[in-house]
Amino acid sequence: MKTGRVTGWNLFRGYGFIGSEESDGAEVHVHFTALEGFDESVPHLASGERVLYEAEPGQPAPDGRPRQKAIRVCPMPGRQHGTVLDYDFQRGHGILEADDGTTRYFLHQQNMLGQGMKDADPGDEVTFLPGESTRGADGDPVALEVKLGDPRKPLYRFAQVPLEPAEWLDVLAEKAATEVWDYQYERKGEGGQLPILRHYLE
């Protein structure tokens, strides 16, 4: 099997892309149905995650570049399963416990897979690679490449929301008091549709 790194993943549509670490460097399209052996409650890949995969020729990219289609994607060997015990979003770190019930690991947001601001709640299930270095007041080993078992925000765990933001965000914006729901200054143009309203609800 080849080795690659996930370059992006659409959690709600269940597909993403892997960048090959082989010499060909071909982009690989992957659907969640090709995932095998992953230990997360919600089948997904996380941006930055290293994986093993098998692929075959697929549909070309929109710009005509050749693209492969993953037929089998597996996690890297050595990943362990654990549970977050504590996490301080402001400080960006916390503690997780491996499933053996005795080994604790230092969890830092820089070692969490995915995009954007990283967060975790006590009780969240995760998979990770055990590191050799130690951090934290108790000298716990560091957890590396930490991946949440369910990366959805609480809103999406609680309710089924339409895939297209326009189907619900625009409706809510019309019902709310008149407001500018887009970033206007340093983050102008970022965050997708009506990001302030969406982030507030999330």
Instruction: Assign 190 a pLDDT band (cuts: 50, 70, 90).
Output: confident
pLDDT digits (tens, 9 = 90+) for 53-68: 999 988 887 888 778 8
Tell me what the mean pLDDT of segment 124-140 comes to. Answer: 85
Q: Which of 24-28, 135-139, 163-167, 170-174 has the largest mean confidence?
A: 170-174
What is the rounded CA–CA span in Å between residue 17 and residue 68? 10
- Residue 180: CA atoms inside 13 Å, Cβ hemisphere, count? 6
User: What CATH superfamily classification does 2-75 receive?
Assistant: Nucleic acid-binding proteins (2.40.50.140)
Does 166 score more than 90 pLDDT?
A: no
Range with lowest mean pLDDT among 88-92, 97-101, 187-191, 192-196? 187-191
Q: What is the pLDDT of residue 23?
A: 61
Does 137 score more than 80 pLDDT?
A: no
Q: What is the residue extent of each domain of the chain?
A: 2-75, 80-148, 154-201
Q: How far is CA 90 from the centre of its chain?
A: 20
Q: Do domains 2-75 and 80-148 have the same CATH topology?
A: yes
3-class DSSP state of 166: helix
Does 26 score more than 80 pLDDT?
A: no
Domain 80-148 in CATH 2.40.50.140? The answer is yes
pLDDT digits (tens, 9 = 90+) for 77-120: 999 999 999 999 999 999 999 999 999 999 999 999 988 778 99
Instruction: Assign 189 a pLDDT band (cuts: 50, 70, 90).
Output: confident
Q: Identify which of 48, 67, 49 has the alpha carbon closest to the alpha carbon of residue 58.
A: 67
- Residue 136's identity, in one-letter code, is G
Range with lowest mean pLDDT among 9-18, 65-74, 159-168? 159-168
Instruction: Assign 174 a pLDDT band (cuts: 50, 70, 90).
Output: very high
pTM: 0.80
